[in-house]
Structure 1
Amino acid sequence: MENRLSTMTRSEASVLSSNKVIRNTYMLLSLTLAFSALTAGLSMAMGAPRLGIIVTLVGYFGLLFATSKFRNSGLGIVFVFALTGFMGFTLGPIISAYLSLPNGSSIVMQAMAGTAAIFLGLSAYAVTTKKDFSFMGGFLMVGILVAFLAGLGAIFFEIPALSLTVSAAFVLLMSGLILFETSNIIHGGETNYVMATVSLFVSIFNLFTSLLHLLGFMSND
């Protein structure tokens, strides 16, 4: 009897912990999305040019490392906003380039709507069904690494077809990452809401930019 009660107590504690991580993650994610939108708008208003690939990668991985290192302290929150704000700033010139096209505003709005629909739909599915998507972890890690390297190749060697292929792959990979990370939180695999927020934010960011690229291509722009 005591063992059964002890098991139930541990189970309830696990559920409460998961619910807390989910709540904190989505709260922080909402704030970082708003902040990145603000920095993107600021870079657009300033007419900031696109940062070079080297500067972008160094800034991203440097801030990501700092966020991971301080994820269990208050500095982790500071670096989360620094990271997402930096990513938003790099997004501004990209959005400006699309808005300068004849139907650019339509492309941007479609990409935003598509990103929101995919994220909310997949998150709701993972939360309501409580299915375990941990089996996707290895595949996603390898897939993202391969797509990332292919994306660098497409940039340096200027291969448009490869770039489009990478964008399509990232749409699928980021969708999978949303399912994986949400499932990971629910089942107690991820207990740090700072890192959970970063993972979901990066998924949303890459999903949006990939859809933007694909929609622009389909619109012949």
Structure 2
Amino acid sequence: MNYDAQSTATRSQQSVLQTNKLLRNTYSLLAMTLVFSGFTAGLSMMFNLPHPGLLITLVGYFGLLFLTAKLRNSVWGLASVFALTGFMGLTLGPIVNAYLGMPNGSEIVMQAMVGTGVIFFALSAYAIKSEKDFSFMGSFLMVGILVAFLAGLSAYFFSMPGLALAVSAMFVLLMAGLILYQTSEIIHGGETNYIMATVTLYVSIYNLFLSLMHLIGAFSGND
């Protein structure tokens, strides 16, 4: 009986250590990819590169995302992560430049950046400290993101600014939920690969920032 208790305690301790290691690796890689993405966005802004367009953005994003998932258990997965986040940084630069060219554009970008940081850290801290299981949100988030994505495409192709604004509001809520979900998955063992965990959190932050920037710009009368 004592042996069983000791064995259970050992397994529990190992599980905690593995979770802490996964969290540490995920947040370390996330920080590096955000810095690298910021660097490529800065280059794009400095050279005033044009936006590659929706088709190239989607092909590049989904192609690199598929490659990263394929290579997630090898060292090449790290290279793929940086390729993905660097590419997304390049697509972000022209968008930020467009906002900076608006009246009060720097304030819009800064408010979106601060808002993104506050939301991410608050939700991550809540998920870690509360240790609540948010796995039940998985199916809802998957369907919600698909619906929002298709609605966003409709808003783009049919030039519907009202729908585009609604999609941004949806993405703020969905990305907040995705941060809770992914952090919970790391804590409870639903996600054991730090590369894929990093990608999910990066995409959440990227979309959250874009959506907040759109909403703040719209409500300030500059979008």
TM-score range, shorter chain: over 0.9
Per-residue Cα deviation, 1:163-202 (whole angstroms, up to 9, x for no partner)? 0000000000000000000011011111100000000000
Match of 2:208 in 1: 207
- What secondary structure is seen at the aligned counterpart in 2 of 1:158? coil
Once the two structures are TM-superposed, the CA of residue 41 in structure 1 deviates from its matched residue by 0.3
Q: Does 1:38 align with 2:51?
A: no
Aligned residue pairs total 221
Per-residue Cα deviation, 1:80-102 (whole angstroms, up to 9, x for no partner)? 00000000000000000000011
TM-score using structure 1 length? 0.99
Per-residue Cα deviation, 1:52-87 (whole angstroms, up to 9, x for no partner)? 111000000000000000001000000000000000
| Residue type of the alignment partner of 2:100 | L
Match of 1:15 in 2: 16
Per-residue Cα deviation, 1:95-149 (whole angstroms, up to 9, x for no partner)? 0000001100000000000000000000011111111111111100100011011
Q: Give the aligned CA root-mean-square deviation in angstroms.
A: 0.6
Distance 2:52 2:213 in 1: 18
Per-residue Cα deviation, 1:26-69 (whole angstroms, up to 9, x for no partner)? 00000000000000000001111111111000000000000000
Q: Does 1:129 align with 2:130?
A: yes
Q: Does 1:68 align with 2:69?
A: yes
Once the two structures are TM-superposed, the CA of residue 13 in structure 1 deviates from its matched residue by 1.2
How does 1:70-109 map onto structure 2 within 5 Å? Answer: 70-109=71-110
Distance 1:203 1:7 in 2: 36
Q: What stretches of structure 2 of length at least 5 have no aligned partner?
A: none
Distance 1:69 1:5 in 2: 39
| Residue type of the alignment partner of 2:22 | V
| Residue type of the alignment partner of 1:75 | W
Distance 1:176 1:33 in 2: 20
| Residue type of the alignment partner of 2:74 | S
Distance 1:96 1:15 in 2: 44
Match of 1:170 in 2: 171
| Mean CA deviation greater in 47-56 or 195-204 | 47-56
Distance 1:137 1:37 in 2: 29
| Residue type of the alignment partner of 2:198 | T
TM-score using structure 2 length? 0.98
| Residue type of the alignment partner of 2:180 | L
- Find runs of 4+ consecutive structure 1 residues off by over 4 angstroms: none
Once the two structures are TM-superposed, the CA of residue 3 in structure 1 deviates from its matched residue by 2.0
- What secondary structure is seen at the aligned counterpart in 2 of 1:71? coil
Identity %: 67
Distance 1:76 1:173 in 2: 26
Distance 2:155 2:77 in 1: 33
